[in-house]
Chain A
C-alpha cells in the first residue's frame, strides 16, 4: 500500500492546535471569563430515591452575593434525552433518582459564596424505597424509577438470526459461562463545565466541553421550551471525552436558566467528585454466553444474554444494548446467533457511552470463553480465531457487510510478532500469552440524521479554512480535516485553519462517538475540497491554456502534468478565481454518509449499519507473582486493520492510549458503590488510573489495506482496540498460571484465590 502519491496523507503530522495546548493558550471552558460572570454550583440529592416536595431557597438568596436559585420547578419544557424514544431527563429534577441527582442550582458572585449558598437551600424530600441491583429492580413490586418503564427495563433488545437450537444440535462441544465486567469512570482529565449567557433578544450562548454541541442545543431547547435556533452552543477545547460528554448534562440546563434569571453570564464547572459521580460511567454488565462449536473449533451457534445496570436515567440505553449484541457478530462467522440484552434502571449514577459502548463487556466474555473452548478441545486459541475469522466480502447473518477485512492477517502477523508459538504454554515460568480478536463499526447508522458536512473556503492569499461540524475532543479530527483539505488542494497542512463545532456557524454533525468522525467528516472534506479544486482548476485551465483534467495541485502550485513550468502559485490562483467575472466565492461543500448501509429492520434488526468495519487482534504477555497475586503486563502486540493510516502519529497515539486504558480497565479501575447507592471513590486517590509507571511496551503491526469506502481508505482506530485489551490480558493470565478471571477487575486476591482453588483441586 503506497502513500507516495500523497503529499500529506500517510505522513505523521502533529496536531494543528498542539502549540496552543503546549503553551497554555488553548482555552478550556474553566478558563473562560466574561464581564459580570457569576459562578454556579449544583445541589445534589442526598437520597438515592426521593420526591422533591419543596425547595426553600430563601436563606440562600438572603446571603450576600447570591443572585439566583433554580429548581425543577423552573424547567418549563419537556424531558430530553439522547433518543426520542427514551427521553427521561429534565436536568433539574423534581424526583431524585440517585445520590447526587441535581435538584437545584445557585449562581453567586464567587465560588465560595455559591458553595455556602448550597448549604442554605432547604429541601423537603419524601424519601422513597430504592433499588440498586438490576435483578432486584426487575422484580415485581420493586421501586419504579420512571413511570413509563415497567419493571425498570429501559431497553430490551433481541436478535434471533438463524436457529440457535439447530446450531447447538450440530455442535460437537458446547459451553455456557457467565462473566461480569465492572463499572469505571471515563477519567477525563478535564472536569466538564459550561458558561452560559442570555441576551436581551432572548438568545442563549453556551460554551461547553462537549462531544456534540448540536445535541446540547436540541436538548436545552426542549428543556427550556424554546426554539433551537434561540440557542448557540460552542464547543471549547475539550479535555477528553471517551463518550462521557456526548449527551446533555444538568449543568447545561441549570446554567441557561440561571443566566436568564440573572441576566448575567453563569459559569458552572464540575468538581472532580461531580465529574465522577454525577455524569456518566461504564455500565457494569453481566454476560451469559453459550457457544457451540465443531471439533475443529468452528462456531456453529452463539447465544448471549446481557444484563446492564444502567443507573438512574436512560442515556444511550437502546444503542448500548444494540451494540452489545451487534458487535459480537463482527469478528467471527457465526451461522446462528441469538441475543437478549437488557438495560435496567437502578438508583445509582447514570451509565453511558464509554469507548466501545457496550461492545467491551460481551467481547471480554466471548474471547475468554473461546479460550476455554480451545482448551477443552486441545486446540490453539489463535487457530480457533483463524478458523472463524470474518473475511473481506462476508455478509453476516444479521446483514453486516465487510467491504474490507484483514482480521486473518492481523491474527497471523500479531501472533508472529508476539512470539506466540515460542512463548505460550510455558508451565512453571509464571509467564503467559493471551489473545483476543475484535471488530468495530465506523459510525453506526441506526436511525435519523447521521451524516457529516464540511465547507472548505479558500482565502485570497491561498490560505484555506475548513468549516467543520465535527467535535475535536483531543482525538485530532480538526487536524484530520485540515490534512485532507491540504492534500486535495496541494498546500501544507499548516496553511489550513479550522473552525468547528459551533451550532451557529458550522454545519450540523451528530458528534464524536461511535468512531464515526474520520469516516464521515473525512469523506465530507474530500467532497468539499474537490468542489473548490474543480472551480479553481477551471480558472487555472484558462490561465495556463491547458485542460482542467491535466492540472496537478501540489506544493502550493497548480501546474500542468508533465510540464511543471506551466504553473501558477496557488495563492495567485485564489486571487484570480475570486476576481473572475463578477467576483466569485471560493467555497465548496460536502456532505457524506455511507450509501451501503440500511437502518436495521425494526423487528428483525437485520441491516448493514456501518459502511465498513475495523478489525484487530491483541496479544498480551503477562507475568504473575504467585506469592502476591500481582500481575505485570510485560508487553502488548497488536495486529490492526484500520484500513489506510492517514496520520501515523495520531494512529499510534490512539493505539497507545487504548492499551493504557485497557491496563486500567483490567486491573485498577473500579467504581464502588455502598449498599445505599453512594459512590465511595469519586476521586483519583481511590479510583486508580494508569500512570507512566503502569504502561507496558507495545508493538503495533498495521495490516490494513485501503478500504473502498473510508476516506483515502481509512477506517476507525478509536474504539476497536480497547475492547480486546481486557480479554487478552485475562487469557494471558490463564496461560501463565491457570487462573480464569470471570469477574472484573483482576485483583491480587482473585489470583491468589484462584491459585488456592487450583491447589485444592490438584490434591483431590
Chain B
C-alpha cells in the first residue's frame, strides 16, 4: 500500500505516493528521473549513490525514501543553478578528476558536504571524507586535487 512522501529535492517541494520499501535511490532515479546518483553495489559499500540530506552525505541505496519526509535532499543535478555548474563540478572537470564518470556524482556530493561543514579541510581530512567513494579509474589523486582547489584561501 503506497504512502505519502512530502519532501524537497533540489529546492523543489514534492508530494509523492510511494511504496514504503522503496529506497531514496530508487525514488530519485525511477520516480523523479534524477539518474545522477548511481547504484554501484546496492550495499552501501561504494558511495556511488551518495546524495545530500539537509547538507549531510547519505548513502541513498540504504536509506528508505520515507526516512526523508519533510527533509531537503540535494542530488548532483541540484548543484547546477540557472544553467551554471557549481565551481566544485568545474574543478572536477578541469583537474582531470573524471575518467569513466560513474563514481563522480557520489564523490562530488561527498566533497560538497565536506566543504559545507569545513571550508578549509586538510589533505588527510579530504581523503577521510571521500574514503567511502570508491573509484577504480583515477587513483584518487586528481579527485583530491580538485577538492583542494575549492578550499577557501587562508
Residues of A within 8 A of B101 (CB): 17-18, 20-22, 26, 237, 239, 474
B115 at the interface (CB under 8 A from A): no
Q: Find out whether the CB atom of B100 lies under 8 angstroms from the CB atom of A23.
A: no
B85 at the interface (CB under 8 A from A): yes
Find the B residue at minimum CB distance from A13.
B96
Contact flag A188-B136 (CB < 8 Å), given A24-B34, A28-B38, A692-B143: yes
Residues of B within 8 A of A189 (CB): 38, 40, 46, 48, 100, 102-103, 134-137
Find the A residue at minimum CB distance from B101.
A21
Q: Find out whether the CB atom of B136 lies under 8 angstroms from the CB atom of A14.
A: no
A661 at the interface (CB under 8 A from B): yes
**Interchain residue pairs with CB less than 8 A apart (17):** A15-B99, A19-B85, A22-B108, A23-B89, A24-B76, A28-B102, A33-B33, A188-B136, A237-B100, A238-B100, A240-B136, A473-B100, A657-B138, A659-B139, A685-B43, A692-B131, A692-B140
Interface of A is mostly: loop
Q: Find out whether the CB atom of B93 lies under 8 angstroms from the CB atom of A14.
A: yes
Residues of A within 8 A of B36 (CB): 23-25
Instruction: List the interface of chain A (C-beta within 8 A of B).
Output: 12, 14-15, 17-28, 30-31, 33, 186-191, 237-242, 271-272, 473-476, 649-650, 652-653, 655-661, 683-685, 689-693, 695, 698
Q: Find out whether the CB atom of A14 lies under 8 angstroms from the CB atom of B96.
A: yes
Residues of B within 8 A of A661 (CB): 136, 139
Number of B interface residues, CB 8 Å?
55
Contact flag A23-B42 (CB < 8 Å), given A188-B136, A692-B127: no
Residues of B within 8 A of A191 (CB): 39-41
**18 additional contacts, CB 8 Å, given A22-B105, A188-B102?**
A20-B101, A22-B85, A23-B77, A24-B34, A24-B37, A24-B75, A30-B35, A190-B38, A237-B100, A272-B46, A650-B96, A657-B138, A683-B41, A684-B134, A690-B140, A691-B140, A692-B127, A695-B141
The contact of A695 among B90, B105, B140, by CB within 8 Å, is B140
Residues of A within 8 A of B76 (CB): 22-24
Closest CB-CB distance, A659 to chain B, in whole Å? 6
Closest CB-CB distance, A517 to chain B, in whole Å? 14
Cα separation A239 to B135 with both chains bound (whole Å)? 10
B80 at the interface (CB under 8 A from A): yes
Closest CB-CB distance, B33 to chain A, in whole Å? 8
Contact flag A14-B94 (CB < 8 Å), given A23-B79, A475-B99: yes
Which 5 A-B pairs give the minimum distances between C-beta atoms? A24-B36, A474-B100, A21-B101, A239-B102, A656-B139
Contact flag A15-B102 (CB < 8 Å), given A27-B35, A189-B134, A656-B142: no
Q: Mark B21-60, 1 if CB is under 8 A from A, else 0.
A: 0000000010001111111111101101000000000000
Residues of B within 8 A of A693 (CB): 127-128, 131
Q: Find out whether the CB atom of B43 lies under 8 angstroms from the CB atom of A272.
A: yes
Q: Mark B49-84, 1 if CB is under 8 A from A, else 0.
A: 000000000000000000000000001110110000
Q: Find out whether the CB atom of B102 lies under 8 angstroms from the CB atom of A695.
A: no
The contact of B139 among A190, A238, A658, A684, by CB within 8 Å, is A658
Closest CB-CB distance, A309 to chain B, in whole Å? 23
Residues of A within 8 A of B18 (CB): none
Which among B34, B42, B126, B136 has the greatest number of chain A C-beta atoms within 10 A?
B136
Residues of A within 8 A of B104 (CB): 21-22
The contact of B137 among A25, A657, A683, A684, by CB within 8 Å, is A657
Q: Find out whether the CB atom of A272 lies under 8 angstroms from the CB atom of B139.
A: no
The contact of B96 among A30, A653, A689, by CB within 8 Å, is A653
Find the B residue at minimum CB distance from A662.
B139
Cα separation A600 to B93 with both chains bound (whole Å)? 43
Residues of A within 8 A of B140 (CB): 656, 660, 690-692, 695
Q: Which of B101-154 contact A (CB under 8 A)?
A: 101-105, 108, 126-128, 130-144
Residues of A within 8 A of B40 (CB): 189-191, 272
